[in-house]
């Protein structure tokens, strides 16, 4: 797959699991181990013949290191697939539509999707100062250069 896909790009939890399993060798067996089940069961899930339980989906969230919002989205995807009535499927479809729209809007607004190259990430995460100053300017009293210099006791050249 040439385009990096995010969980929110999927409207089906099984398609997401297939994508993750195809993206890296050994994911299917590692996932089975994390879910305390056989690899054959994971194959059944991926081939549309079975569903994960909510408990297994929760363990999958941990396995994939999903954020809280990603975990909620993944569980909603599962619940929609497992829903037994048309009205319940519609309910979860509406929940997913709203949730997905909010999250994609946030990612697009913040331009967080693939916004930093690996080199830029290496620079940004190389020192605590970048992150602290990035967060500090959200505080109104720390929005000036002099306030930042005083608060963090940095040299002016380092702050620049």
Residue 80 has pLDDT above 80, yes or no: yes
Residue 53 has pLDDT above 90, yes or no: yes
Tell me the percentage of the chain whose pLDDT exceeds 90: 41
H helix or E strand, kind and range, residue 68: helix 68-82
Q: What is the pLDDT of residue 28?
A: 92
Domains in the chain with CATH codes: 7-109 (1.10.260), 118-159 (no CATH)
Q: What is the pLDDT of residue 72?
A: 92
| Cβ-contact 74, 10 below 8 angstroms | no
Task: Determine the Cα–Cα distance for residues 46 and 119; give it in Å rounded to an integer.
Answer: 36
Q: What is the pLDDT of residue 41?
A: 94
Q: Measuring CA to CA, which residue among 44, 81, 76 is closest to residue 58?
A: 76
Burial class (CB in 10 A: 0-12, 13-18, 19+), 132: middle
Q: How many CB atoms lie within 10 A of CB 28?
A: 19
Residue 118 has pLDDT above 80, yes or no: no
Q: How many CB atoms lie within 10 A of CB 74?
A: 22
pLDDT tens digits, one per residue of 123-158: 766 777 777 787 777 787 877 888 888 888 888 878
- Model confidence pTM above 0.85: no
Q: Is 1 helix (H, G, I), strand (E, B) or coil?
A: coil
Q: What is the pLDDT of residue 2?
A: 39
Helix, strand, coil % (nearest 5) of the chain? 70, 0, 30
Task: Determine the Cα–Cα distance for residues 26 and 36; give it in Å rounded to an integer.
Answer: 15
| Cβ-contact 139, 133 below 8 angstroms | no
Mean pLDDT of the chain: 83
- Could you identify the residue written with the tokens 């929005």? 143
Q: Confidence class of residue 106 from pLDDT cuts 50, 70 and 90?
A: low
């Amino acid at each position: 797959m040439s385009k990096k896909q995010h969980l929110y790009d999927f409207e089906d939890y099984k398609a997401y699991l297939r994508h993750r399993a195809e993206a890296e060798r050994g994911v299917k067996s590692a996932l089975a181990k994390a879910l305390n089940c056989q690899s054959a069961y994971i194959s059944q899930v991926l081939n549309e013949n079975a569903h994960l339980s909510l408990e297994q989906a929760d363990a999958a969230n941990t396995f994939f290191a999903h954020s809280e919002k990603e975990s909620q989205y993944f569980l909603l995807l599962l619940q929609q697939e497992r829903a037994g009535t048309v009205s319940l499927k519609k309910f979860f479809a509406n929940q997913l539509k709203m949730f997905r729209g909010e999250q994609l809007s946030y990612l697009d607004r913040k331009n967080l999707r693939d916004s930093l190259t690996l080199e830029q990430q290496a620079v940004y995460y190389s020192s605590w100062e970048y992150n602290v100053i990035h967060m500090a300017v959200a505080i109104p009293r720390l929005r000036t250069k002099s306030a930042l210099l005083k608060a963090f006791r940095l040299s002016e050249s380092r702050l620049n």
